[in-house]
Structure formats: C-alpha cells, structure tokens
Structure 1
Amino acid sequence: MLKALMLVGVGGGLGAIARYALGGLVLHLSLQQRFPWSTFAVNVLGCFVAGLLAGLVERQHVLGPETRLFLFTGLLGGFTTFSAFGLDAVALLRRGELLLAGLYAGGSVLLGVAALWAGMRLLGAGAGQG
C-alpha cells in the first residue's frame, strides 16, 4: 500500500509540474485570447498520451500494474486538469460568454476523446472497435 501511494504521489507531482510548465507556456503564448487555451491544450494532450499508454497496455502488454499506477493515476492524474476545465467553463458562463463556454466544453470533450482514440489507433489498439 505504501509503495502504491509513493508511485501515485511521485507520478502526480511530476504530472503537476509538467502541467504547470506546459500550461504556463501556452498561457504566455495566448495571453490576449479569451479562450482558455492553457487548460484546453493540457487536457487534449493528456488524453492523447493516455490513449498511447492504453494502446501499449492493450496491444503490447508491456506495462505492469505498478507502472500503470504510476503513469495513469499518478503522472496523468497530476497532469490533466478537468477540475480546472470546470472552473474555466463556469468562468466563461459567468462572464456571459455562452458561445465560448459551449465551444470550450464541447471541444475539450470531443477532441479529448478523439485524441485518446487516435493515440490507441496509432499503436494499432482497439482494431475492429471503431
């Protein structure tokens, strides 16, 4: 149990650092935009990486349980930001930006799912399922 907690904690810390670094970079590059590109980019990239890793697990059987715990629960759990997604969507709604809020929420979900699917398909996983 302690080992699992350490794997999740270290992975989560590294994921949070990566999220902070990428999110800060994207935020700096899109400072004048009303759309929350920072969280959007992190969520879509996180879903794509999750798809790649899930493809490895499904197709190649190369990641053991501890590695999956570290990568999925820890690293990607610390990296992806759907709680921030909710805050950004509500902020857009509260500012009366209904169209942007809809585009943001819909785009995040659709592109996130599409990115996950693309990551899995890129590695040949999920063949015959879509």
Structure 2
Amino acid sequence: MNWLLVILGAMVGAPLRYVTDRAVQLRHDTVFPWGTLVVNVTGSLVLGLLTGAAAAGHASPHLQLLIGAGLCGALTTYSTFSYETLRLTETGAGLYAAVNVVASVAAGLGAAFAGVSCAEALWP
C-alpha cells in the first residue's frame, strides 16, 4: 500500500513540475532556469509544511508518503537543477550559474523553514 501512495503522489507531481516549469519559463526571456527554481522552492515549502504538520501529529504516515515522497519527490528536481547549472556554465553564463546555485539553496531552505513555521502557527 505504501508504494501505491508514493506512485499516486508522483502521478500528480511529475506533470505538475513539467507544466509549471514550462509556464514559468515561457514568461521569462532569459537563460536563467526560473521554472526549475519555482518548482523546487514550492516543493520545499510544501515539504516544510508537511514536516511541521507531522511533527505536531497532524499528518499521518500515509499523507507523508503521498505528499512528501510522492508529490514533492516528483515535483522537485535536483537533477534538472544540476544539469541547468552545468549548461549555464558551459555556455558562458557563469554568473547565472552561480546565482542559480545560491538562489536555489537559499530560497529552498528559506521556503522549508517558512513551511515549518506556518505549520507550527497552524498546529501549536
């Protein structure tokens, strides 16, 4: 049953990642990977909220598998982040590559902490 929950979450997360990435990237005429940044930060926020809810006893292990491992696991993408950063470097956009790394790590961690803080406020 656990594997089914992860699959169901991933069935939503993977297409959501693709559609969101394309929609965001189409609105920006730049080589900077805004779409990947948006899905990774969003996934970090959702995972932080879920983690905070679980710590407060308001998220079942099944919900953690469905949303955490399934949806967030498929929504976020470290491999695409790495690939896009490497491509930026290879094409001479080293400054964009550095900004991508710093922004992704800082915003991702900030979003995760914000999610946990929101959960603590909702479920004291």
Fold match by TM threshold 0.5: yes
Question: Could you tell me which residue of structure 1 aligns to residue 87 of structure 2?
Answer: 91
Q: TM-score, normalised by structure 2?
A: 0.92
Amino acid at match of 1:68: Q
Identity of aligned residues (%): 34
Q: Name 1:38's counterpart in structure 2.
A: 35
2:68 paired with 1:72: yes
Taking the aligned partners of 1:29 and 1:111, their CA distance within structure 2 comes to: 20
State the TM-score, normalizing by the size of structure 1. 0.88
Give 5+ residue unaligned stretches, structure 1.
126-130
Contact 2:53 2:120 in 1 (8 A): no
Structure 2 CA distance, aligned partners of 1:68 and 1:49?
11
Residue 50 of structure 1 deviates from its aligned partner by 0.8
Q: Counterparts of 1:81 and 1:63 in 2: how far apart (Å)?
A: 24
Paired position in structure 2 for 1:109: 105
Aligned pair count reads 121
Indicate the residue corresponding to 1:81 in structure 2: 77
For residues 120 and 84 of structure 2, the distance between their equivalents in structure 1, rounded to whole angstroms, comes to 34
State the one-letter code of the partner of 2:35.
S
TM-superposed deviation, 1:63: 1.4
- State the partner residue of 2:96: 100
* Counterpart amino acid of residue 56 in structure 1: A
Looking at structure 2, the residues matched to 28 and 83 of structure 1 have their Cα atoms a distance apart, in angstroms, of 21
How far the C-alpha of 1:102 sits from its partner, in A, is 0.6
Number of the residue aligned with 1:8: 6
Q: Aligned ranges for residues 111-126 of structure 1 at < 5 Å?
A: 111-124=107-120
The Cα shift of 1:36 comes to 0.6
Cα distance, 1:86 vs. partner? 0.5
Q: CA RMSD in A?
A: 1.2
Name structure 2 gaps, 5 residues minimum.
none
Once the 2 structures are TM-superposed, how far is the Cα of residue 123 of structure 1 from its aligned partner? Answer: 2.4
1:22: Cα distance to partner?
1.1
Query: Letter of the aligned partner of 2:49 in structure 1?
Result: L
